[in-house]
Amino acid sequence: MSWWQTAVFYQIYPRSFLDTDGDGVGDLEGIRRQLDHLVWLGVDALWISPFFRSPMKDCGYDVSDYCDVDPLFGTLADFDRLLAEAHARGLRVIIDWVPNHTSDQHPWFREARASRRSRKRDWYVWRDGSPDRPPNNWRAAFPKGPAWTWDEATGQWYLHLFLPEQPDLNWANPEVVAAMHDTLRFWLDRGVDGFRMDVIHCIGKDPALPDVPAERAIIPACALNDVESTHGLLRDIRRVLDAYPGERVMVGEVGVPWTEIVARYYGNGDELHLAFNFPPIFAPWDAVVWRAQVERAAAELDPRGAWPTWALSNHDNRRHRTRYGSEARARAAAVLMLGLRGSPFLYAGEEIGLEDAVVPAARVLDPGGRDGCRAPIPWEAGPTHGWRTADPWLPWPPDAQRRNVAALRDDPASILHLYRRLIKARRASPALQEGSFARLDSPAGVLAWERAFAGDRRIVLVNFTGEPAVLALPGAWNVEIASDGRGEAAPFSGSLRPDAALVLRPAREPE
Ligand code: GLC
């Protein structure tokens, strides 16, 4: 097994984690100061969303210098210190690499835009046409509208799958490939353990840039783009990482809503190590839907030897606590995610059961409508919640006086302690970390499965309904973890409480 298969990953959105310099925006030093807390929680690896130089039109996913830290977050020296202190605690660190597009303020784009004869013109995707008719029917992800902007000064269109301030790089140009490989080496040389690769399935484009079929034309092009050339580009990127010692990992955001397409980006063990699979993130709290997601992932990934990932929340979607509607369900979902076969990715704040913030119209910042899930983490009660200011860049999430890290650390019955126990149980169990997965018969509304590895066995039961459920299991089992914390270490009674989940271990361990 590789470290990235057994690791529990923890996503940090740096703007929202912890502010130490009083500007209302989190920073790298804020992450460093919480490393001991993350070790206490038990996670193995951090994924830090972008902290590179950026005009912040898309909160840092619009990079103007891949090889420097934005002053908002600190300095390169701060990053080096953070990385060294994380490594000293046994935590791995992966960073966010944004290869599909740069900021329009990146020197490459400024040079490209300056003239049609610019040496860097072909580093981006330009097309002739008339200002009233974009070159094809592709939609941008946000704001609503075409994925093209007319550049008045040079009389051509340029492509942007996201904001007009995020022009797409032209990965068909070998100079772009070489320059972007260098940005990877910059961070690999500093010692990062790998990358989360932003919309990685978009870097290859069909050179003809054909229209998408009319019935799909309202879907953003970034959710549809899937061309063969990306796989070759990924294999080359993989070779860059593989030249370094220590199993540097590529975790790709393959943002298409079809697991069978996601699976292809693992290649034959020579492309991504891990890919995010979005359909489960969009799944409602429903046993039938989740069963289909779990079986789908196995059917598509297992034959390739591809290792699944599981996430319930991230910085682009409503938190699962908010989507599922109760803390009981959020707790049961944590048992589900940490009990499945694959690498779990937690999103900072889910371990304290945060809900999305309610962001009044006057404070909306994100053109993609994603502010709610990006609200700052409350570390303690009191007006500043452990930050340097009571008034951070986004409003606090609901109930922060009560629902904050310090208060929940003091309460052994809290969701935070549930996450900690779950992560610890996972780490101690080869079955949960790397074991096989076999679904067990269960009543409607309940998902049940067994994990096994070399004599180690666990059963996971998740009740998706608001009613108690009864379930007969062969053999004698004890409750190892209960999502509501009740009855742990006692024999399994055969019944499951509403919206609750259990991890069971054999009552008698094998000799
Ligand atoms: C990814 C990121 C998202 C960003 C987009 C453009 O989907 O997760 O936050 O807006 O790419 O970079």
Residue 479 pairs in a beta bridge with: 504
Indicate the pLDDT class of residue 20, thresholds 50, 70 and 90.
very high
Entry pTM: 0.98
Selected catalytic residue, list 70, 168, 253, 350 = 253
> What's the pLDDT at 510?
57
Indicate the pLDDT class of residue 508, thresholds 50, 70 and 90.
confident
CA 97–ligand 1 middle distance (angstroms)? 11
- The reply to whether ligand 1 has any atom less than 6 angstroms from the CB of 198 is yes
The arithmetic mean of pLDDT across residues 126-144, rounded, is 97
Selected catalytic residue, list 78, 198, 271, 499 = 198
CA separation for the pair 358, 283 (Å, rounded): 22
- The reply to whether ligand 1 has any atom less than 6 angstroms from the CB of 140 is no
> Which contiguous run of DSSP H or E holds residue 343?
strand 343-347
Catalytic status, residue 511? no
Question: Quick check: helix, strand or coil at residue 119?
Answer: coil
Q: Render pLDDT for 197-236 as a digit per residue (tens, 0 to 9).
A: 999 999 999 999 999 999 999 999 999 999 999 999 999 9
Phi, psi dihedral angles at 249 (to 5 degrees): -110, 145
Residue nearest atom 9 in ligand 1 by C-alpha distance: 316
Q: Render pLDDT for 23-78 as a digit per residue (tens, 0 to 9).
A: 999 999 999 999 999 999 999 999 999 999 999 999 999 999 999 999 999 999 99
Q: How far is CA 496 from CA 80, 331, 432, 482, 507, in A?
A: 48, 14, 20, 10, 18
- % the chain with pLDDT above 90: 99
Catalytic status, residue 168? no
**Closest ligand 1 atom number to CA of residue 62:** 12
> What's the pLDDT at 485?
98
Sorted by sequence, the CB contacts under 8 Å of residue 508 that are 6+ apart come out as 476
- The reply to whether ligand 1 has any atom less than 6 angstroms from the CB of 316 is yes
Pocket test for ligand 1, best of 95, 198, 366 (most atoms within 8 A of CB): 198
The arithmetic mean of pLDDT across residues 310-326, rounded, is 98
> Which contiguous run of DSSP H or E holds residue 96?
strand 92-97
Q: How many Cβ atoms are within 10 Å of 369's Cβ, its own excluded? A: 12
Indicate the pLDDT class of residue 509, thresholds 50, 70 and 90.
low
| Closest residue by Cα to residue 99 from 311, 252, 256 | 252
> Mean pLDDT of all residues in the chain?
97
Reported as half-sphere exposure (CB side, CA atoms, 13 A), residue 49 has a value of: 25
Question: Quick check: helix, strand or coil at residue 20?
Answer: coil
Measure the N-to-C terminal CA separation of the chain; round to a whole number of Å: 25
- The reply to whether ligand 1 has any atom less than 6 angstroms from the CB of 58 is yes
CA 199–ligand 1 middle distance (angstroms)? 7
Pairing of strands 249-253, 274-276: parallel
Distance of CA 67 to the CA centre of its chain: 22
CA 95–ligand 1 middle distance (angstroms)? 14
- The reply to whether ligand 1 has any atom less than 6 angstroms from the CB of 98 is yes
CA 49–ligand 1 middle distance (angstroms)? 10
The arithmetic mean of pLDDT across residues 471-478, rounded, is 95
**Closest ligand 1 atom number to CA of residue 368:** 10
CA separation for the pair 299, 33 (Å, rounded): 42
The arithmetic mean of pLDDT across residues 457-486, rounded, is 97
CA separation for the pair 56, 63 (Å, rounded): 8
